[in-house]
Each structure stands twice: as structure tokens, then as C-alpha cells.
Structure 1
Amino acid sequence: MAEKLVIIDTDCGIDDAQAIMMALTAPHFQILGITCVFGNTTVENVCQNVLKVLSVCEREEIPVFRGSAVPLVGISSSGDHFGGDGLGDVIKDKDPQWEDKISMEHAVNAMIRLVSENQNQISLVALGPLTNLALAVRLDPCFPQKLKELYIMGGNMEGIGNVSLCAEFNFAMDPESAYVVLEDFLCPTYIASLEYSCRNSLPWEFFEELMNQDAPAARFMKTITSKCWAYSKEAMKKRRDVHFGPGFVSYDSYAMAACVDGSVVTESIQCPVHVELQGSISRGMMVLDRTNKLKKSHCVYVMSKCDTTKLSQLLMESLRQPRNKQPEK
């Protein structure tokens, strides 16, 4: 398989960590950088979380860039899905030197530079609010056409929300940026929505098997999910299960899996999409225009069905890290 150049844009919570680990185990991936954005927690915590994941997987050579701390418009807020720090509030050994390990270059500038240096070669995987991407196209209007492809975890297909009545978390955190990206990015775009992730959930028995593997990455994931309500079968009964039934969902892994292996996605809806900005109830909701009433020229691929067997294999492999450890003499 030909080498794939990748940039990961993340608001690193627990599911982002899982997705990043999946990327680290993809043998054909060359990760040029990881750009950080607010979302699951503050951008400062996101940077530290990414560094922690890379440290656990012994991949600290990958550059990390600090990006947007607030949305384009309005007041910044963070979610509580994964605790205050984004990784379950269980990590005690914080690195006091973390800022020295972050690149001095701003994430948006790094994104523009890397894409300009590798035109039509980079796959960009966006796992958080789309603020960095929106700023990139505002600074360089040609940025999207220099990308090979864009994968997004975010938005919804049916108006089912998880932070508001009608909006998915990543889009709800910065609706204006989601609007800008889905209007201005004309590159091939693939969206793993909230409903796609939840309708292709995995059994909780698989989650137990996944977390109980004997490897540093698996032990790390077991620790950070151990006290997190978002990974509680019981807590989900009054939340996600109401709409989708029981199951384990690692949201960001669905977008990453599609980038790693396109055959994981077995069905997609190709159509224009629109992000609602004005509605008092529907602000941040993604609308699928399947009959093209809006007369938009650009279509995206909204994933709808998943090969959960292949997804399971990618998830299992992602926690068998670090690789290439030399046996002790």
C-alpha cells in the first residue's frame, strides 16, 4: 500500500487518543504533524494529552502544534464527556516541561505550510471543532484545493444531537467554523457523523476485550476510561442508548478508520450539506440536502454503513503499542 501523508487535527479526549493510536499503527501512514484545538478540554490540556499519547506509544518524534483556544465567534466552552482534562481526570504525573515539547509554530500556520509543501498529497483528519481548518482557509483561500482529501468526525444526519437537541458536539462547539469548512473546502470530503458512529457501535464485550490486552497502550486506555461516565454501560442507558440502543462507540475512530482503510465504509450518502447557524434549537446541526434544493455544486460523502469487523481489527491493533521494542539482552 502506498504511503499516505497525514495531518491529524484534534481536541484530544479519550476517543481522539484511540484514533491517534490507530493512526500510529497504520503501516502506510506518515504523520507529518498533530495540530491541537480546544473542544473536549482547553487547548493547553489538548497539547499535553497528545504528548502523553505519543509518549505512551514511543512516537515522540511527531511534531505537535498548539492551535485555536476559542471558536471563531462567541464564548469558548469545553465538554465534559471525558472529564475536565479530556483524559478522564486520572493522570497524576503531569509533565511540567510540556510547553518545551510543543512547536513554536502556530497550528494553523503549520497546517498551511505542510499542505503547501506537499500539494495534493495530504489527508487531513479532523477530530474536533473545525476552528483551525476555518482559519486556514481564511488565511490561504487555496488551502482546500491543495489537500488530497478531508476526513471529519462531526455533524449529524438526522438532527439527533448529543450536546444540544439537534447538534453534534464538534459542530456545536464552533458552528461558524463547521459552516465555513463545509462551504469552502471543495476537496473530497468524508464525514463520520454522530449517527454513523452510534448506529455502527460495537458490543460492550468487545470493549472489555479491547481494554484488557497486555500492552502499554491498552493499559493506558483502560486507565483513562476507568472512571469516565462516557465509557460506562450503565450511564449510557439514559443517554446514547435512548436513540441508538446499547453499544461501545469510539467516535473519532470511525473517521480515522475510514482514512486508514476506505473499505471499512461500506455505504455512503453523496450529497451537498449545510450547517445551520440561526436556529434557536437547531444551531450547529448539519443538514443533508439529498434533493439539492440549495443548488450547491459540491457534494460530500456522508458515511452510513460500516464493516464493524474491520473496525474491530483496527481498534484491537491500535492498542498493541509501542512497536519495535528491542528485547532485553
Structure 2
Amino acid sequence: MANKLMILDVDTGVDDAQAIMVALADPNVKILGITCCHGNTSLENVLKNTLRVLKVCNRLDIPVYRGCATPLMNHKINAGDYHGKDGLGEVPDPDAPGLELLQKRKAAKALVKMVKENAGEVTLVATAPLTNLAVAVQLDPNLPKKLKALYIMGGNTESRGNTTVCGEFNFVADPEAAYIVLDRYTCPTYIAPWEFTCRNSLPWSFCDMLLAHDTEKARFMKKISCFSRKKAQSADYQKEVTEGKGFNSCDTYAMAAAIDDTFITESDEVAVSVELQGTYTRGMMVLDYMDLLKKKHKATVMKKVDLEKFKQMFVNSLK
């Protein structure tokens, strides 16, 4: 099978780390570069965390780019209460790679360049707030036409928030960027929303089995995920999730769908947008089932996936 060319846009917390490792483990995936964005933690931490993941996978050859440190207009937020203040479970590595390994080119410009050089072949997987993507399309309005596909972890379908009353973290972290991306990226677009990931969570027993593997990667993942696992299993967090109170690696659903076209087993095709104004609904994803927005471009919103394939991807990623 021909290589799938990918660019990953991340805000590396624990689930981004898992998603990156799943992509690295697939022999049919070639990662052209990783662009980093504010989000789960500060941009500086995201950069360090991304390099840590690449180091444990012996893939420091993959270019990493510094992206946006702040949202376009929004107040900056983070997910330190879930991922830890540093984004990777507050278990620092004294031997972590230094930021001198970063590429000199900034993320948005790098994104435009990589896509232009591989027009029609690149799949972009976005698991962070969409700030870098919004800036990139401002630099090159024709960028979406050159993409093969875009996969997003973000948004929600039933106004069940995990950050605000009605909003999912990635979209709430930069609503204007999410609005721009859903409006201007007219390439085939696939979205893994918050409630969907909750309903398709994996059993904690699988997580235990996965992290019991005697490999460097498994030990790394066990160490960095301890903080977020305690949070996920807490009584307060259990009230937040919709259904399926198990191991929910949100970002990895978008990655798995990008890797395997048959991963999605049920979805909706619908035009989507983002609410920018509401007192309680700012950052909420809007699904236009009545076609009132008259948008020609429709996104594929994931509803169900092949969880057995998902499990195998996780197992492969920690070998």
C-alpha cells in the first residue's frame, strides 16, 4: 500500500501523545511534520512534549514546528486540571530533547509549504485548537483545495460541554479559529466530536492490559497517563461524560479514522459551523440538519467506529 502522507497539528497532552504513537506505529503512514499549538498546556510545553514522544519512538527525524501560542481573539485557557500542568502528567524527563531540535520555519508557513509540495496527497489531522489551521488558510486561501482530507477532534453534537456548559475544549479554546476552519476548509472533512468519543470509550480493563506490556513505550505511556486516569475515574469527571465511562483517548479517534478508511462504521453528513456569540453557547459546534445555512460543504461527523480495530492500533503503538 502506498504511504499515507500526514501532517499532525497537536497540543500534546496525553491523548495527543497516544494519537502520535498510533500514527508512528503504522507502516503505511508517513508523517511529513508535526505542527504545535497552544491548548492542553502552554506552547513551550507542547513543543517539549512532542519531542519527548518522538524520542521514545526513536523518531526525532520528524520535523516539529512552533505554532501559535495564543488564540486568535479568545482568552487563553488550558487543560492542566486533566493532563497535568505540563500536559504530560507532571512526570518530567531530565533527559528530554531540547527545543534546539525545532525547525526554524513557523507552523502555519510550514503547513502551507508541505501541502503545496504534496498537493492532493496530504491528510491533515488536527487534535488541537484550530489556530494554526486558521492562520494557514489566511496565508494561502487555496490551501484546503490542495489537501486530500482533514480530520478534526473537536466540537460537540448535543451541546454537552466538557469545558463550558455547551462547549468542547478544542473549539472553546479558539472559537474564531474553529469557525474559520469549518467555513473555509472545503476538502473532505471528518470530525470526532466529544460525545461520540465518550460513547465509544474502551474498558479500563483493556487499558490495564495495554499498559502492562513490558516495553519502553508502554512504560512511558503508563507514567504520563497516571494523572489523567485518576481524573477520568473521579466521581466529578464521571458526571461530565455522556455514556461509556471508560478509557477515552479523544484525539486518537480522529487519528485512527485518518489511518484506516474503514474505521468509521456510522456517521452523519451535515454542514457544520461554530457559535461565536452566545452567553452559554460560544464555541459550541452547530449542526445544520435543516440546511438553513445553505452551505454546500458537509462534514462527516463520526457516530460509531470499529473498536476492535481501535484496540489493535493501541496495542501496535506500544510494541
TM-score range for the pair, normalised by the shorter chain length: over 0.9
Aligned to 1:127: 127
Aligned to 1:89: 90
Aligned to 2:312: 313
Superposition pairs for residues 1-329 of structure 1, below 5 Å?
Answer: 1-80=1-80, 81-93=82-94, 95=96, 98-229=98-229, 232-235=232-235, 238-241=238-241, 243-320=242-319
Question: What is the TM-score normalised by the length of structure 2?
Answer: 0.97
| Partner SS state of residue 83, structure 2 | coil
Output the CA distance in 2 between the equivalents of 1:215 and 1:171.
Answer: 35
| Partner SS state of residue 244, structure 1 | coil
Output the CA distance in 2 between the equivalents of 1:56 and 1:236.
Answer: 33
Output the CA distance in 2 between the equivalents of 1:117 and 1:3.
Answer: 15
Identity of aligned residues (%): 50
Cα shift readout 1:158-187 (whole Å, capped 9, x = no counterpart)? 111100110000000000000000000000
Post-superposition offset of 1:238: 3.6
The alignment yields a C-alpha RMSD, in angstroms, of 1.3
- How many residues are aligned here? 318
Post-superposition offset of 1:213: 1.0
| Partner SS state of residue 35, structure 1 | strand
| Partner SS state of residue 288, structure 1 | strand
Contiguous gaps of at least 5 residues in structure 1 = 321-329
Cα shift readout 1:112-140 (whole Å, capped 9, x = no counterpart)? 00001110110000000000000001111
Output the CA distance in 1 between the equivalents of 2:318 and 2:229.
Answer: 21
Give the conservation status (yes or no) of the 8 Å contact 1:159–1:167.
yes
| Partner SS state of residue 108, structure 1 | helix
| Partner SS state of residue 227, structure 2 | coil
> CA distance change for structure 1 residues 266 and 258 in 2, over 3 Å: closer, same or farther?
same
Post-superposition offset of 1:219: 0.4
Give the conservation status (yes or no) of the 8 Å contact 1:229–1:235.
no
> CA distance change for structure 1 residues 14 and 257 in 2, over 3 Å: closer, same or farther?
same
> CA distance change for structure 1 residues 232 and 192 in 2, over 3 Å: closer, same or farther?
closer
Post-superposition offset of 1:229: 4.9
Question: What is the TM-score normalised by the length of structure 1?
Answer: 0.94
